[in-house]
Amino acid sequence: MGPLYALWHLGNLFVPALGLGLLSAALAKLVWLHDLRGVPWLHLAAPACGVAALVTLTGLVAFGRDGKMATYGAMVVGCALVLWWRGFGPGRR
């Protein structure tokens, strides 16, 4: 595998995490428009993407491969917890 294909493969590993983090933050701002008015979108999206990427790496190490449904479920739960923490919980600034 050449370096370009390796970079492409590594990027594709994190595309679901990035998509989930960005989309879930946007949907949270849309659904709870009044409650999350004071929280910038980037303050929701950045930690959600980070946690989803961390869960992806943890799933890769734990299961030996990526793409397991348990990893995707853990990504959803992790994003939901981070969005709650940053939007409604003690992490709100």
Q: Quickly list DSSP for 41-61.
A: HHHHHHHHHHHHHHHHHHHHH
What is the domain partition of the chain in residue ranges? Answer: 20-87
Residue 69 tokens, joined: 């449904």
Phi and psi angles of residue 67, each rounded to the nearest 5 degrees, phi first: 90, 15
φ/ψ of residue 27, rounded to 5: -70, -35
Global pTM? 0.89
pLDDT value, residue 93: 67
- The tens place of each residue's pLDDT in the chain, 93 residues long, gives 889 998 998 899 999 999 999 999 999 999 999 999 989 999 999 999 999 999 999 999 999 988 899 999 999 999 999 999 999 988 776
* pLDDT computed for residue 19 by the predictor: 96
